[in-house]
Amino acid sequence: MSDFDPAKTALISRPMLAVMTAQFLSAFGDNALLFATLALLKQQFWPDWSQPILQIVFVATYILLAPFVGQIADSFSKGRVMMFSNGLKLLGALIICFGFNPFLGYSLVGVGAAAYSPAKYGILTELTRDELLVKANGLMEASTIAAILLGSVAGGVLADFNLLSALAACVIAYGLAVAANILIPRLQAARPARSWRPREMSAQFFSACRVLWQDGQTRFSLVGTSMFWGAGVTLRFLLVIWVPVALGVSDNKTPTLLNALVAVGIVLGAGLAARLVTLKTVARCMPAGILIGIAVSIFALQTNAYSAWLLLVIIGMLGGFFVVPLNALLQEIGKVKVGAGNAIAVQNLGENTAMLLMLGLYSLAIKLGAPPVATGVGFGVLFALAVGGLWLWQRRQSVRSLSR
């Protein structure tokens, strides 16, 4: 076991750089593979409404595995869990690359991603001091968003050039991610498993769910991050059908470039959050959440490419400022109450349930013939109202706790 001591380590260290490198490569593969697979579905003449189904298959693995992946992350060295998970992603990409059913391959990538997520966020609490956790989350989000930026563009551009080369790039990225994971120190298990029986593991997970949902602060974080990522994944698919209608462009490259602009904004927003928000001032992020919905509604009405680009960067900035502090809040409290891995697994259940619901509604709306522009405006308005309601609820909870 490593004698690594987080109490003596700065934010930028060799173990942290290894984690960020592995995360970048893994997220690069995820995003390049998504757009390469979407191009494959178009090439094979799958209907438009099947595109969000691809993501639903991915998201469903998170939900089904949620009772188990948190305990796995806390029961083993998290760096090794990350390495195994990237190996599963590599296998899924190979299945798609060699011409097998894309939904099957992408679901296997989802299994790897579900196991990977609690480990990658949970390891931050083991590599950094508590007072650096928001900044560490900012680095993680920056690494992730840079990967989204480059991976999305690479997937779309390479798919327009040669679809097989796009899929091969994903395989290479996952292979390099596995190699980077080897450089992460072998840390001790945070909470060795008491049982590997599925029924008992499920009971422990749902016990952790109750603990976190009963706590006002972690419940606030869980609801906020679930809303954000559910909205984010829906916006990604909305862009694919919005671009031909609003901008008159039908290639694979343009939607990926627009997603990349959102990613640039999130990096900037995450940096601002690291500077301006602490665990004690998390509520400062809420106005940004309301403005996300307003900006999405305005964006959906655009017909000029330059104004659309600017709005997508702004949406990303607001998103980064909104979600990074909420992530840090959950990790800090969840680490103490149920273990970091379990806390992230509970968060994943909430986020992916929200994604599943929003994608399902979106897919149904498109299947029923809803116009992309109207869908975008309605989506933005509903999101702004939902975040506003969450903010009012959180303030009432704070007032009640102070009056006791």
Per-residue pLDDT, averaged over 340-367, amounts to: 78
pTM here is 0.67
Distance CA 5, CA 299 (A): 47
DSSP state of 251: S
**Residue 121 near residue 340 (C-beta atoms within 8 A):** yes
Per-residue pLDDT, 183: 79
Q: Which residues 6+ apart lie within 8 Å of 162 measured at CB?
A: none
Is residue 176 very low, low, confident or very high in pLDDT (cuts 50, 70, 90)?
Answer: very high
pLDDT tens digits, 264-280: 888 788 778 877 776 67
CA 307 to each of CA 204, 270, 286, 344, 366: distance values in angstroms, whole numbers, following the listed order: 49, 23, 25, 36, 25
**Residue 257 near residue 351 (C-beta atoms within 8 A):** no
DSSP state of 283: G
Residue 7, pLDDT > 50, answer no
Residue 190, pLDDT > 60, answer no
pLDDT tens digits, 28-67: 998 888 888 888 887 776 766 667 777 778 878 878 887 7
DSSP state of 368: T
- Highest mean pLDDT range out of 274-278, 318-322, 340-344? 318-322
Distance CA 273, CA 323 (A): 9
DSSP-based three-state secondary structure for 265: helix
Residue 188, pLDDT > 70, answer no
- Supply φ then ψ for residue 304, to 5 degrees: -100, 130
Distance CA 42, CA 40 (A): 5
**Residue 365 near residue 357 (C-beta atoms within 8 A):** no
Which is more confident, 98 or 255? 98
Parse the chain into domains and list their residue ranges: 9-185+202-403
Residue 105, pLDDT > 60, answer yes
pLDDT tens digits, 57-89: 887 887 888 777 777 777 777 778 888 888 889
**Residue 301 near residue 353 (C-beta atoms within 8 A):** no
Which is more confident, 402 or 208? 208
Fold (topology level) of 9-185+202-403: Growth Hormone; Chain: A; (1.20.1250)
Per-residue pLDDT, 101: 83
Residue 213, pLDDT > 60, answer yes
pLDDT tens digits, 372-384: 788 888 888 888 8
Per-residue pLDDT, 398: 62
Per-residue pLDDT, 174: 92
Region for 277 from its dihedrals, namely left if φ exceeds 0, alpha if ψ lies in -120 to 50, beta otherwise:
beta
Per-residue pLDDT, 321: 84
Per-residue pLDDT, 182: 84
Per-residue pLDDT, 8: 44
Which is more confident, 103 or 43? 103
Is residue 133 very low, low, confident or very high in pLDDT (cuts 50, 70, 90)?
Answer: low
Nearest partner of 370 among 254, 242, 248, 250, judged by Cα: 242
Residue 389, pLDDT > 70, answer yes
What DSSP string describes 72-128?
HHHHS-HHHHHHHHHHHHHHHHHHHHTTS-HHHHHHHHHHHHHHHHHHHHHTHHHHS
Mean pLDDT of the chain: 78
Burial 386-400 (b: 16+ CB within 10 A, else e): bbeebbeebeeeeee
Among 173-182, 254-263, 301-310, the least confident range: 254-263
Is residue 403 very low, low, confident or very high in pLDDT (cuts 50, 70, 90)?
Answer: low
